[in-house]
Amino acid sequence: MKDLLIEMAKGLVENKEAVSVTVDDPNEDGVIVYHLEVATEDKGRVIGKQGRIAKAIRVVMRAAANRLGNRVIVEIN
């Protein structure tokens, strides 16, 4: 899951070395939080107009996690 998020983000940004993901342990509800970090100049590329790209990233991650029986949240920092 972490690799999927990294690859999606690297496909969108110019500064690929600045992409990093940290993963929190599942909380009491079993939800895993992924924190996506990108360079400041690339934040607009990852969020997109009106947050459409960010929503698409979250949908893909939720679908992939659902196939594995997990629940995830993606936060873009």
Q: Give per-residue pLDDT as tens, 42-66.
A: 999 999 999 999 999 999 999 999 9
Angle at which helix 52-67 crosses helix 2-12, to 10 degrees, equals: 160
CATH code for position 69: 3.30.300.20
Q: What is the DSSP string of 14-27?
A: S-GGG-EEEEPPP-
By residue range, what is the domain housing residue 25? 2-76
Number of domains in the chain: 1
- Quickly state the pLDDT bin for 4 (edges 50, 70, 90): very high
The single residue listed with the structure tokens 């999606």 is 8
pTM as predicted: 0.91
